[in-house]
Structure 1
Amino acid sequence: MNLTLETKRLLLRPLVMSDAEDMLAMDSNPNVHKYLWQKPSATIEETIKTIEYVQKQYKENNIGRFATVLKKTGEFIGWTGIKFVNEHEENGNTNFFDYGYRLNENFWNKGYATEASITWLDYGFKEMNISKMNAYTHAENGASNHILQKVGLQFMEDYLDKEGVLWKWWQMNNPKQ
């Protein structure tokens, strides 16, 4: 995938295998997974499979989650981006664009998720001409729910996943359509 986006402080680029160790450091942290099914990664092999899965999405859907890196230091802080969800159903939906992010705990509360979100939504609506962007968050994840609201997504409804966990469904229509 040959796409790189920039914000004031961030570089958003495709995930590559050299991101595996930094991704594992993020995904093995139980705090990062508190609102993500409580299944932290345990091995580098799991992380490599995740990167391969995302790279497959780049080829099949021309979009996917991107490494999010501090421009000033080159430090990997997590991933952000748009994903086309067509392999499972979420809240009764499939074949939809989903915006999401995951940052390593050291980089929380610094405005990075908001900064990346604004850039990704702008790209999705202007460059990809997506008519509707969706997102979903654990109902108790106050920080992520706040960020999605702050960048313009509208809370649509609460729903239960197949394990009975309460999630929030968010949506934003393309302001240019």
Structure 2
Amino acid sequence: MNLTLETKRLLIRPLELSDAEAMFAMDNNPNVHKYLWQQPTQEVSETIKIIEMVQKQYENNKIGRFATILKETGEFIGWTGIKFVNDHVENGNTNFYDYGYRLNEKFWNKGYATEASLAWLDYGFNQMKIEKMNAYTHSENGASNHILQKVGFQFMEDYPDKDGAIWKWWMMKNL
């Protein structure tokens, strides 16, 4: 995949196998998984499989989650991006564009998720010409819910997952 996005502080590029160690460090942190089914990654081999799966999504869907790098230091701070969801049903939906992000805990509360989100929404609506984008967050994840609202997503409804946890369904339309 040949796409790179750039913001004032961030470089956003396709995930590479060389990101595995830094991504594993993020996904091994229980705090990062507090609102993500509480299952931190246990082995770097799991992370490698995830990166390979995302790379397949690039091939099949021409989009996916991207490594998000702090320009100033070159550090991998997490992943951000648009994913075409066609591998499962979420809140009764499949075959939709989903916006999401996950950042390493040491990069929380610095505005990086908002900065990346604005870049991705611009790309998705103006370059990809997506008509409607969705996002979903755990209902208790106040920070992520705030970010989605701040960048323009509209809250649509709460819904339960298969385990009974309540999630929030968000949507933004291309105007």
Give the aligned partner of residue 89 of structure 1: 89
Kindly report which structure 2 residues correspond to 1:5-84, keeping only aligned pairs within 5 A, or say none.
5-84=5-84
CA RMSD between the two structures: 0.3
Spell out structure 1 runs of 4+ moving beyond 6 A.
none
Once the two structures are TM-superposed, the CA of residue 17 in structure 1 deviates from its matched residue by 0.3
**Cα distance in structure 2, aligned partners of 1:61 and 1:71:** 27
**Cα distance in structure 2, aligned partners of 1:62 and 1:87:** 15
| Aligned partner of residue 135 in structure 2, secondary structure | strand
Once the two structures are TM-superposed, the CA of residue 51 in structure 1 deviates from its matched residue by 0.1
Unaligned runs of 5+ in 2: none
Kindly report which structure 2 residues correspond to 1:110-149, keeping only aligned pairs within 5 A, or say none.
110-149=110-149
Unaligned runs of 5+ in 1: none
**Cα distance in structure 2, aligned partners of 1:167 and 1:142:** 12
**Cα distance in structure 2, aligned partners of 1:44 and 1:34:** 19
| Aligned partner of residue 66 in structure 1, secondary structure | strand
Aligned length: 175
**Cα distance in structure 2, aligned partners of 1:45 and 1:105:** 21
**Cα distance in structure 1, aligned partners of 2:73 and 2:141:** 29
Once the two structures are TM-superposed, the CA of residue 10 in structure 1 deviates from its matched residue by 0.1
Once the two structures are TM-superposed, the CA of residue 43 in structure 1 deviates from its matched residue by 0.2
Once the two structures are TM-superposed, the CA of residue 49 in structure 1 deviates from its matched residue by 0.3
**Cα distance in structure 2, aligned partners of 1:2 and 1:123:** 14
* Normalised TM-score (structure 1): 0.99
Identity rate of aligned residues, in percent? 78
| Aligned partner of residue 35 in structure 1, secondary structure | coil
